[in-house]
Amino acid sequence: MREILELLERDAHLSHDTIATMTGLPVEQVAAQVAQWQATGVIRRYTAVVDWDRAAAAGEDSIPEIVTAFIDVSVAPARSVGFDDVAQRISRFPEVRSIYLVSGGHDLRCTVTGRSIRAVSDFVSQKLSTIERVRATATHFVLKAYKRDGVAFAEPEADHRLRVTP
């Protein structure tokens, strides 16, 4: 069943028929399993990976500039809840796209978006840093995305090999 999830994670447009063909499972079983995962929250939503830089370069004038930042957060853990309550509170802000408990010098890593660098810095200074038990933050602005969610944004290199003829 993991194979179904991996296929959907790579391409949410795959039909149940296609997944059944790829896995060798009956279509009815695939459809029932996907429906169960949707009902129980295993599949949270379907999404598209958008290259916003390419959309803007293609002349999509109505697309506003979006700034993305990774914010590392140091938190003083609390007895019986650890970092969970702070992470859940941070996750409720609409600017926060993702949040993870991580190893290393900081405890949480957030992905945050805003309309400008100023908007992201205001989020950090006025919302994030004022949360009780948040001890420090380190903000890293994304300058360019090369790959996101398993999708490379670079154009594939041209094949310069000579043709083989019979």
> For 20-74, what is each residue's pLDDT tens digit?
999 999 999 999 999 999 999 999 888 887 777 777 777 766 667 789 999 999 9
Q: What is the enclosing helix (H) or strand (E) of 87?
A: helix 84-91
How much is the pLDDT for 60? 65
- Topology of domain 67-144 in CATH is Alpha-Beta Plaits (3.30.70)
For the entire predicted model, the pTM comes to 0.74
Q: Which pLDDT tens digit goes with each residue over 76-91?
A: 988 888 899 999 999 9
pLDDT value for 61: 66
Question: Distance (Å, rounded) from C-alpha 87 to C-alpha 5?
Answer: 26
Residues 6+ apart with CB under 8 A from 133: 75, 76, 77, 78, 86
Distance CA 3, CA 23 (A): 7
